A and B are shown apart, each in its own frame.
Chain A
Amino acid sequence: MTAASKQPSGAASYVSRPSAINNVAARKHLIALLALLPALVIFCAFWLLPFSRLIVMGAEADRSSGISAYLSILTHRQYLISLVTTVGISLVVSITAVAIAGTVGFFLARQRFFGKAVLAAILTFPLAFPGVVVGFLVIMLGGRQGALAQTSLWLFGERWMFAYSLAGLFIGYLYFSIPRVITTVMAACDNLDQSLEEAARSLGANTWQVTKDVIVPGIAPALLSTGAICFATSMGAFGTAFTLGTRLSILPLNIYGEFTNYANFAMAAALSVVLGVITWMALSLARRLAGGNLGASA
């Protein structure tokens, strides 16, 4: 035994102090690794493996054209149109939702009136519905037997419909986007510093100028982030689109069609990856602007 050793008897007494400390550290690392193992297993099994498989599959030859499916998206009109349509309608929906719900949310945050809590609850109610039900509601409004068709038939003798087109999709997406924006904007308005508005007014600014120079810049991060979430949600929304009709050329329906109807797995995989990347970019933008935990649901 060395003089320096004050270890208890047994194997440990032969090691010098520094390496004993190293041993403790190594054991701690091992425990941490073991604790991390379930998370790693789940990550690999349910995320990393299928996703890398998806990415690789997307690079395989597309069944109809014989070239890599990623390339076919760019070279085939049909896929390109679907991509542009999906991004386009998602953008328009996001901007419209932010404009409408931003105004309503600001009004609700600032005004006090009887029944305000009930109104706010009703306005955020659509969040409770899945996409299928939203699609159903749009059909009730603008479908073949919808309220608009009945009214126009009675008035003009013809059925007016919009449910089975992009307009129907637009209404449906707007329907579930607005509640998200309203809640976010109300929270952002509560956090606005009222003395900024008072300062602007003291300098002679009218309501419009206060809104333009103080309120909108103040809630701009919230508007941008909530808009990005609307965009991500609209990009991936499947239930509503599926209910309204499979003839619509948008990405989620394309993926479903390639996969189930044509067994064109490479194309389905490539479209999924593209959809995922675009949505992820929008969400990471939102996260950077808002600094919170956000996720999209379809």
Chain B
Amino acid sequence: MRSSVSITLNHCSRTFAGGNTALQPLDLHVNAGETLVLLGPSGCGKTTTLRIISGLESPDNGGQVLFGERDVTALPIEKRDVGMVFQNYALFPNMSVADNIAYGLKIQRLPRAEIAHRLDEVMRMVDLKGFGERRIDALSGGQKQRVALARAIAVLPKVLLFDEPLAALDAKLRDRLRIEIGQLLRELGTTAVYVTHDQDEAMALGDRIAVMQAGRIAQLGTPQEIYHQPANAFVADFIGAVNCLEVIGMQADGGLIVHGGELVATHLQGVSTVYCRPEDIQVVPLSQADIKGKVVQSIFLGQSQRLLVDTGGASPLQIEAPCRQRWPNGTHIGLNLPSSVLFHPEKTNTTDTTKELANG
């Protein structure tokens, strides 16, 4: 397989006709062989970023796209050597499965034997052996996306680009294909950029994740960093569920007074809010509890349950609890929030924070 190449975006912004800014000036580096996930809600600029990398769109003047050392800003997509996988599959309906996959190879005018060999290889990789002569409209959604994947990797692209490839599939299939794509990316070692709004997908596939918001990168980091040290409340909230506890006072010994009790967090002095994940809160006997509250709702999730506990604050705390124990509504329970699971992004006002991060 071809050696992989890094991707660098220098000061790439994108303004659409009519003055709509889809992307604020953006600097981004994707290491060779790395899978970077662009994660964010719709309209955050993730797809625009991907299209600028692909060459389907150009950055505003002053922007620069590099593949390795080579400046590809002026090259259209057909000269960039990228493989692309679309949300709606974008398979050629007038061609068979094999013709779809071999399309890029035929464009390259490879010898027939080489095409046959390569076709065989990628169809085995995506588990489509024996489907070569099928018509596209005779395939299921999952099979279609496998064909699209095979078509993209068959040309041995320098860069693989994914535009929400699993968004149109049902949950079970999505999980399966996600695992397969992950294995494939590791096997190929090709530099990949993957756009999604699904945080599970981002966590599972990304070597690093760029969380985007309103045309900017809100945070760039490994899945662990993004999850455990979110840069701001937006990121904390977008990646998984998060509890936000208002600090209403301070004890002489440094303990933080919150609704329902008191927390020890020496690393969080002077903050007005404290964050923690639902799964980091433990249900304990009332006598050992940091804070106490009343169960207002329990939502059974199968492998666990989500308790909503009213501690007197503005909104109830979310707690991930074992699924077999039962806490009827109204039960008073004790909660333990160890110091190590409490965190606080630099600031709580999301818009202010993203601006600062983009500038810094």
Please provide the chain A residues from 198 to 246 with a CB less than 8 Å away from any CB of chain B in the complex: 198-206, 209, 213-214, 217-218
Choose the segment among B77-85, B178-186, B196-204, B301-309 that binds chain A (4+ C-beta atoms closer than 8 Å).
B77-85
Q: Specify the chain B residue showing the minimal Cβ separation from A194.
A: B90
| B83–A217 touching, CB < 8 Å | no
B102 nearest CB neighbor, chain A only = A203
B151, A200: Cβ atoms closer than 8 Å: no
Q: Is the CB of B90 within 8 A of A204?
A: no
Select the residue from B90, B94, B161 with max chain A CB neighbours within 10 A: B90
B248, CB-defined interface residue at 8 Å: no
Cα distance, A214 to B56, chains bound together (Å): 17
* Tally of A-B Cβ pairs under 8 angstroms: 60
Which residues of A are found within 8 Å of B93, using beta-carbon distances? 217-218
Looking at the assembled complex, report how far the CB atom of A196 sits from the nearest CB atom of chain B, in whole angstroms: 5
Whether B108 and A198, one on each chain, are in contact in the complex, defined by CB atoms closer than 8 angstroms, is no
A206 to B82 alpha-carbon distance, docked (Å)? 14
Task: Tell me the bound Cα distance from A203 to B110 in angstroms.
Answer: 13
A203 touching B94 in the complex, CB below 8 Å, given contacts A195-B88, A198-B84: no
A195-B88, A199-B84, A199-B86 given; A205·B94 CB < 8 A:
no
* B193, chain A: closest CB distance, angstroms: 13
* A213 touching B90, Cβ below 8 Å: no
Bound CA–CA A214/B78 (angstroms): 15
B58 to chain A, nearest CB (A): 14
State whether B107 touches A202 (Cβ < 8 A): no
Interface residue? A193 (CB, 8 A): yes
B107 touches A198 (CB 8 A): no
Question: Judging by beta carbons under 8 Å apart, are B155 and A204 in contact?
Answer: yes
Binary A-proximity of B204-247 (CB < 8 A = 1, otherwise 0): 00000000000000000000000000000000000000000000
CB pair B83 A202 closer than 8 Å = yes
The distance in angstroms between the C-alpha atoms of A84 and B82, with both chains bound, is 53
- B145 to chain A minimum Cβ distance, whole angstroms, is 13
Q: Check B107 against A203 for contact (C-beta < 8 Å).
A: yes
CA A214 to CA B155, docked complex, whole Å: 19
CB nearest neighbor in B for A202: B84
List chain A residues, Cβ under 8 A from B300. none
Q: Mark B134-171, 1 if CB is under 8 A from A, else 0.
A: 00000000000000100110010000010000000000
Q: Tell me the bound Cα distance from A201 to B103 in angstroms.
A: 11
Q: Is the CB of A193 within 8 A of B155?
A: no
Residues of A within 8 A of B107 (CB): 203-205, 209
B104 interfacial by beta-carbon distance below 8 Å: yes
B338 proximal to A (CB < 8 A):
no
In the complex, chain A residues whose CB is within 8 Å of the CB of B94: 217-218
Query: Which chain A positions have C-beta within 8 A of B108?
Result: 204
Q: Separation in Å of the A199 CB from the closest CB of chain B?
A: 4
Q: Which residues of A contact B86 (CB under 8 A)?
A: 195, 198-199
**Beta-carbon contact of A201 and B90 below 8 Å:** no
- Residues of A with C-beta under 8 A to B77: 198, 201-202
Question: When chains A and B are docked, how far (Å) is the Cα of A217 from the Cα of B95?
Answer: 10
Q: Please determine whether A200 and B92 come into contact, CB atoms closer than 8 angstroms.
A: yes
Across the interface, do B56 and A198 meet the contact criterion of CB distance under 8 Å? yes
How far, in Å, is A189 (CB) from chain B's closest CB? 16
Please measure, in the bound complex, the distance between the C-alpha atom of A199 and the C-alpha atom of B144, giving whole angstroms: 14
- Partner among B78, B90, B152, B161 whose Cβ is within 8 Å of the Cβ of A195: B90
Q: Is B76 part of the binding interface, using a Cβ–Cβ cutoff of 8 Å? A: yes
**Is there an interface contact between A193 and B78, defined as CB atoms closer than 8 Å?**
no
- The answer to whether B90 and A203 touch across the interface, beta carbons within 8 angstroms, is no
A198 and B90 alpha carbons, distance in the complex (Å):
8
Smallest Cβ-Cβ distance to B17: which chain A residue:
A112
In this assembly, does B54 line the interface, its C-beta being within 8 Å of a C-beta of chain A?
yes
Residues of B within 8 A of A198 (CB): 56, 77, 84, 86, 90
Residue of B nearest to A220 (CB): B94
Residues of A within 8 A of B103 (CB): 200, 203, 205, 213
Q: A209-B107, A213-B103, A217-B94 are in contact. Are A202 and B88 (CB under 8 A)?
A: no
5 tightest Cβ-Cβ pairs between the two chains A and B:
A203-B104, A195-B90, A199-B90, A217-B94, A202-B84
Report A's interface with B, CB cutoff 8 A. 193, 195-196, 198-206, 209, 213-214, 217-218
15 sampled A-B residue pairs with Cβ under 8 A: A193-B90, A196-B90, A198-B77, A199-B90, A199-B91, A199-B151, A201-B78, A202-B78, A203-B78, A203-B83, A203-B107, A204-B78, A217-B92, A218-B93, A218-B94
Given contacts A199-B86, A206-B78, list 8 more A-B pairs with CB under 8 A.
A199-B84, A199-B148, A202-B78, A202-B152, A202-B161, A203-B103, A204-B107, A204-B108
